[in-house]
Every structure is written in structure tokens, then in C-alpha cells.
Structure 1
């Protein structure tokens, strides 16, 4: 017995002194176990905290978007409730159970601006932070501008992809005090250097570009302008903005342009205006390893396109995958039973992978319930029923049409250090 104990002890010591072997073992463990190992010794803490370890684990485990965080009421902190649910049906339970990890934000005054492969960009008043919801680590970001020279216009986008580059980067698109409205400049923050650096020269853009909602996908950050039908991208390798993307698909017959997104959502005066909903818009939606495009109006029609990666020559590079009239799905009865204007009956939240192949589903928020619509056959299934604090009805309808998209954020497990 003593011989076996000594053998086990010596084997454990051999493994512990061999970083490569120890890393190979740890990257295959469940995330919560790996986090627990950080408390065992300073050496394990140092090993697991190294960006290389996070990259190795992502290589083995992959980046899996395991859930969605809904932050629907961002205007009134006293009514604000973050809702989180897992895509996995077995884990889709209220997160009050101790065994199920539920990501949170630091406080009620921290607002999520963007999520990217496990990290989040937060804003708290005028400050911005990088936040890891898995570990709870938070890091304040320095301002890219001197205190005496604040930009009149600045928008930020987060890029984090441990399979493609170490650390994370932020892209700041800004317009100086004396710049023309269509002239912008770019600065990049790197977590490795901890500093902002200007890149390339200024560039001109259509005035409708939505720099507030950048989307990272395969070494680039993308923005679109719905009225101009323009897509711009920031090339992470060359560190410059490029205008080499195909134009957005033509609008359906009879549709008008709709400028969605931007720094401010629909004002209260616009919510009651028919003009606010008389339009058509697009949103970039990476899923299943492809760049997708969701086209919508404030009625019931939704189209989903997929980008041909080998041909950017024209708007035909966007291939129509699905064309859905929500009233012709199993949701028809639900809509008919709601005594509300059409524009308030639902909100599109997200486009997710559904199944083993490249099948996709739209997540919809309908009267306090999250419902998944399978695009391959237009069938639905219930995902989650929201519990509304104080029966506050405005929580249901705060973001009609597609506005809820900008308050839904993917969650992926990550051990990335900030």
C-alpha cells in the first residue's frame, strides 16, 4: 500500500513539474474545475492565467456559445433585470440553482455594449471596461483621447479570437472636433501593449454607417449602413478600414430603407409614429461558421442571407437561405391572441445554430417568452419564460421589431486574462 502511495505521489510531482503535460491535462477538464485549480498554488495560477493556456484550451474545446444574456431594460436601473439562459436544453433551468453557473455583470450601472467570444465590453457612465463574465475579472480601459481633446464622435468595437491572435483588441472609430461629418479616423487598443495607437489615414464613409454595433468575424470587424447599402470592415492584420465588401441585397418590392441601430434607439415620440416602422433593414449575424445577414421590416417578414466567401463581386454574393412570413408559421395563433399593434407583438433577439449541421433558428421574444423558430421547417419550441419583476409590462415590449437584437449578447466560456 505504501509503495502504491509513493508511486502515485511521485507521478503527481512529475506531472506538476512538467508544464506541457500539465497543460494537456488541464485544458481537457470542465471549466469550473480549471478555475478551482487556480486556487491550489501560485504555480497553477500562473500557468492557467497565461494567455497561451487559454489559447490551448480553446483549440481543444473550441469556442462554444453556450447561452444568451438579455439586458432588455437598460433605461431604468431600478427595473433592470439581466436574464440568462443556456442553449443546451438540459441546462435550461433558472440560474438560481447552485450547480448551474450564471454569468453576471458587476453592478446595475454597468451596461453591456458588446460581447465577443467570451469577453464583454462594458460602459459605466463615461468609463469603459473589458469584462470576463466567466471569471468575474474586470479591467478599466484608458481613454484614447487626451483629457483636453475629447472627440465629438467615438464608437468602440471589441475583437477577441484566441484561435487567431493572442489577447484582445479594441477599435475606436472617431471624428475629431474639426473633421467633416463623413471623415473618420481609427485607433486600436491592444491588450498586449496596453496602449492606443493610431492607424492609417482618415477615411470617408456614408453618414448612415452604424459604428455603434460592430460585429467581429474571422480577423475583421464589420459595420453596415442600411440606407447606403454599404458594408465596411476593419482588417485586424493590416489594421485599416477596407471597403471591399459586396453591397447589401436589394430591398423586397415595396419596402423602404430603415436606419436601425445607432447610438440611440427609437425615442418615445417615434414609438407611436407609424413612420418609425415603415422601413426595411439588415443586421449582420455570424452563425455556423458563416457571415449571415438578417433582413427584416417592422411587420412579420424576415429573410436570412449567407455570404459567399469566394465571391464579393456584387449583391448576389449574399445568397438567400430563408424567407419567412411569421404569420404563416405556428406563431400565427400567438400573434392573433395578442391585443397589441403589430410592431409590438415580438422582438427578434438572435440567430443561433440549431442542430448538428448548418441549420439555424431565430430566437424571438413574444409576450415575455423566448421562442425558437427553426428556419428549415418553420417549427417552434419554447426556450424560456421571463419572470417580470413587479409585473412590469414595459419589460415585454421595450424593443419592438428587431430592437431587442441589440440587447441580446452571446455568452461563451472563457479563461482569458485581461
Structure 2
């Protein structure tokens, strides 16, 4: 709901709604169905989340097309695609950017929205660590830990399944029409229809015990055989087996995250989205949090009070309101993933009864998981924006400053 509020504010909700399986309606609707599946006999659905608007599932490519189709006219705005940042250098009043194709650019502000392997974050934290080395080596060592994201200990097998193919081999399979989460010990499977129902997006998770304490061994993303994926779910119920058997060419992704980043900004440089708070996918919140970052930061930079001279102050207001929420979502998503896999359970849930499919314990688990999800609709992101605006006005001397517009590289 938080992300949908922003899409409505930008006037993009109609176009995005046309891409969804069902046009969103502003009323409580069924979301994901929870099903216990890590046993040979047929599992059972034990809960269905009810959420505002339900689950609005979109193909990433469809959403990106809507966003790029609605960029401002090029006479007022320039977009350069297929550019990869390598590093940057900050001066007293500008930032110089270096790209992998050998080109460079100068800007008043750099917003690094360059993902989990962010070159912006790497450059920022190498620089912060180098500066700290002169007076506190322990702090410098801690800052270097944020140059790269860390592995969560979880792999995700990803694939797209043609709905027609799924139903041809398995008539009535509920994954064709219903967002599903299949629960099991140390593993879970998420599926949901996209592209107006023509395709089912499948993500099958496998967690390595204490894997989050290890370095990743091997590539972060690689194509794998169908057999490697299906072997992970031997002994699971028929509904999961038939779904996995429809996969043609899966890929395996090592899921990484960025926990507790101490700052999203440094001078005229800000981090946005996965570069700041890469998170596991267990709440479906990663892209939404990036959009919320952009919502707050974009409105701050567009304020008439913000000038080239004081823009770093505006970025600090962005950091003050977005970092606690973004970092909190990283932890919330991590904990939710453990719950899907019957790990790190709260004390009031009996683990043994849960794994024996106790309806009472499964319902307790479902309620705890739903509480984790509620943050996505319990308040709207304009609360953070209003707080950021107030903080900015309180911090700035409104009677001074320059009136030159800001040139920002986003």
C-alpha cells in the first residue's frame, strides 16, 4: 500500500494497474496463501493474508516500461542508459563521476541507485574508512565491512513458468491464479502470477544453516540444471513437485543484504534502494523501499529552499528519516524468512508441534508473520516526507541561500 500510494501520487497507478493480474481495488483483498508442504503427503493451506488492495503482482520489465514511458520531456530532462559508474570524487561544490566506458560527468549531487553491488557505496565507504584510519583504526575496519553486501546464507532458484503449460499438465493448480508461499524446514517456495496471469513467477529458497556467518563460495548468480533445483525438494508434497517440474531453465541466486548501514549520505552523495539497504525478498519490499527513498529524496531536492550551497544538509534530512526505516526493513525481512522455514521461532510457538502440522501452532505462526507484513500498510510514506520537510525547514535559514537550481545525477 505504501508503494501504491506513491504510484497514485505520480499518476502512474492506472498504467500499472493495467499490467497487473487484476486491477487494484481500494479494499481489503486476499493476498498470499500459506501452505505447509515439506511432507510426502498432500499439504494444506493454513492461512490467507488479507491486505489492502491484495497482492499487486507485476513483472519487473512491465513496471520499468511504465516508469521510463513517463519520464519528463527530454527538453527538460536527459536520460542516459547503459552507463555503469566505476567511482566518483567529491570536490567542494560538485561531484565528478567516472563510468566504465571511459566517460565522465560532473554534477551537483550524485544519487547512487546502483544496486546491491553498488560502486557508489563502495567508493563512499572506502573513502570514509580511509579518513577514519588516521584517528581510529577500529572504526576504519568497521566501515570497510560496508563496502560490499554480505550473504544471507540463502540461495534462491528462480524461473518463469508459462501458466498455460502449468495448467495443461496440472489442471486446477492453485499457483496459476493465487499467490502462494509453500512452507518447509530450512526451505520455502514462493510463486505468484504476473503479466496479466500469463506467467507464474517462481522463487524457491534454500537456507544453509549458519550460512550468514560465511563468505559466499562461488558466483552470486548462475544457471543450474533443473535436477539441482528439484533435488532440494525431495520428499515435499505433490503440489510443489508438479510446480517445480514445469520449470525449464532455472537460475540460482545467492541472496545478499546490507545490514545496519551507518549512513546513506556523505557530503553531496546519497545512496538509494539496494545500494543502501539491500534486503532479502521475504517481504517483497526491496523495490518498494527504493521507491520510498526516491519519493522522499526527490521532494527534498525539489524544494525552493534547497540550493547548491546547502544541498548536503537536505541529504542529511533524507538520511535521518529514511535510514531507520530502511535498515529496519532489512531486519524485518530477514526474520520473516526464518519464520517461513520454521527457524528462530518466537517462544510462544511449539517448534515440534509446528513441524507435525499442528493447526494451532501454524495459525500462531501465520499471525506472527502477518504482523511483520503490516508495516507495509500501517502508515503511508508521506509521514516520513512531512517529517523530513519539517526538519529541513527547521535546519535552514530561509532568509538566506542561493536560488540556482540543483543539477542532480539520479
Band of TM-score, shorter chain: under 0.3
Identify, as 1 or 2, the structure richer in strand.
1
Q: Tell which has more relative contact order, 1 or 2 (C-alpha 8 A, sep 6+).
A: 2
Which structure's residues are more often helix, by fraction?
2
Q: TM-score, normalised by structure 2?
A: 0.24
